[in-house]
Amino acid sequence: MNVFWAPSGELPKEASTPEEISRFVVEAAVHAPSVHNTQPWWFSTADREVSVHADVERRLRVADPDGREMLISCGAALFTVRVALRYLGFVPKVSVLPDPDLPNLVARVGWGDQTPPVEYERQLFAEIPRRRTHRGGFDAEPLPAGLLSALRDEAAREKATLRIMGDDGQRAALAAVVEAADYALRLDSARVQEESKWAPPPGSQRRDGVPATAYPARQERTEPSFPSRDFAHGHGWGLPPAGQGSVPRSAGVVAMLTTADDHPSDWVNAGQALQRVLLLASSCGISAALHSQPLELTQLRDFIRVQLSGGAYVQMVLRLGTTGQAAVSVRRRLDEVLL
C-alpha cells in the first residue's frame, strides 16, 4: 500500500433525527486541523443545537499559555460544523463565545431553516476527510489561476486576511524567522518535552498527536528554507521522503493569515478562516504546510507583526502547493468527544 494515499475515513452521507444530525456534524468536525493534533475540543448537543467547547486539559501549557492555538483549532472545528450542516441543507445559526461566564464555550450552532446546499458547499464537505497537513516541499507548479484571490475572499468572509508574500525579500525574511524559531524551540527543553508528548512512536494505538505516518523521516529542504518541526525528535521515525534529498524543493506560495485584533474571538475567526482556506485549496488539489513555530515566541511574533504584516496580528504561516504526498493522521472516536 502506498501509505501517502491511504484513505482517511468516509463521512456519513445523510442524517435526519436531531441525534443523527448532531453525530453527523461532530463526526465531520473532528477532522479539523489542530495544533499537534491535540484535538482540544468536545461537543455537546441540545435541541437542534451543537455546542463546541475548548478542552483546556488539551491546551499546550508551555507553547500556548493563552490558548490562542487551542482556539484557532476550535475555530477550525466550528467552521467544519457549519459546512456539515450546510451539506445537510440546514442554515447554521452561529454565536461565537456566547457566554462571558463560560470562556471555554467556543460557539453554539443552531439549525432550523433549510436551503439546499450549492455545489461549492458540497465540494467543501467532500474535502473534510481528504485534507491533510503537508510537511515538506512542493512541486514546481503554479497554483490554478484565480485560486489565490478566491482564497483571500474566503479568509475575508471570516474576518481574517490572507496575505500572500509575493515579494522575494519578504518571503526570505519570513523563512528566516521560521528557521530561527525552529532552532529556538529545539533548544528549550520544556517545549521539546511538551512536543514529544504529542508525537507518539510508530505503531502507537493513540488516536491523537502527530503520528509517524504524518511526516517524512528526513527533513525535506525547501527554497527558501522553511523547516518543519522535528516531531521524530531524533528517533528517525517518519515516512520515506519524496524529494531527491540534496535538491531543495519549492517552498510553494507563502502566505500569512492575520487578524486586525488579537482577542479570543479573533482566534476563533482565524481558525474558521484557516479551515475555509484549507478546504477550498484542497478541493483544487492544493495542499498546505503550516508553520506556527515563530508564533509561539512572543518576540518573533511581534517582529513579524511590525516588519512583515503591516501591524496585523499573525495567526498562521502557510505554504501552498501541489505534492504527490498526503500524510495519514488519526482522530479520537466520536464517543470520546460528543458528550
Ligand X SMILES: Cc1cc2nc3c(=O)[nH]c(=O)nc-3n(C[C@H](O)[C@H](O)[C@H](O)COP(=O)(O)O)c2cc1C
- Interacting residues with ligand X (CB under 6 A): 33-37, 69, 72-73, 76, 132-133, 135, 210, 214, 228-229, 290-293, 327, 329
Kindly state the smallest distance separating residue 54's Cβ from ligand X, in Å: 12
CA dist 257 and 139 (Å) reads 23
Give, for 46, the enclosing helix (H) or strand (E): strand 41-46
CA dist 117 and 89 (Å) reads 5
Query: Crossing angle for the helix pair 264-283 and 147-157, nearest 10 degrees?
Result: 150
Q: How far is CA 291 from CA 53, 92, 254, 328, in A?
A: 25, 31, 10, 18
- Asked if residue 200 has a cis previous peptide bond (ω within 30° of 0), the answer is no
Kindly state the smallest distance separating residue 74's Cβ from ligand X, in Å: 9
Task: Give the rounded distance of the alpha carbon of 321 from its chain centre.
Answer: 15
CA dist 65 and 58 (Å) reads 12
* DSSP assigned state of 49: E
Kindly state the smallest distance separating residue 59's Cβ from ligand X, in Å: 11
* DSSP assigned state of 12: P
CB contact at 8 A, 294 and 178:
yes
54-86 burial, b if ≥16 CB within 10 A, otherwise e? bbeebbbeebbeebbbbbbbbbbbbbbbbbbbb
Nearer to ligand X, 21 or 282 (CB): 282
CA dist 296 and 66 (Å) reads 10
149-162 burial, b if ≥16 CB within 10 A, otherwise e? eebbebbeebbbbb
Q: Which residue is nearest to ligand X (CB)?
A: 33
Kindly state the smallest distance separating residue 12's Cβ from ligand X, in Å: 19
Nearer to ligand X, 22 or 34 (CB): 34
Kindly state the smallest distance separating residue 16's Cβ from ligand X, in Å: 28
Nearer to ligand X, 36 or 191 (CB): 36
Nearer to ligand X, 73 or 80 (CB): 73
Nearer to ligand X, 25 or 327 (CB): 327
Kindly state the smallest distance separating residue 118's Cβ from ligand X, in Å: 25
* Residue that the C-alpha cell 504561516 belongs to: 317
Nearer to ligand X, 86 or 132 (CB): 132
Name which of 98, 101, 64 is nearest 78 in CA terms: 98
Kindly state the smallest distance separating residue 28's Cβ from ligand X, in Å: 13
What is the four-CA torsion angle of 124, 38, 336, 202, rounded to 10 degrees? 100
Kindly state the smallest distance separating residue 185's Cβ from ligand X, in Å: 9
What is the four-CA torsion angle of 208, 213, 219, 221, rounded to 10 degrees? -110
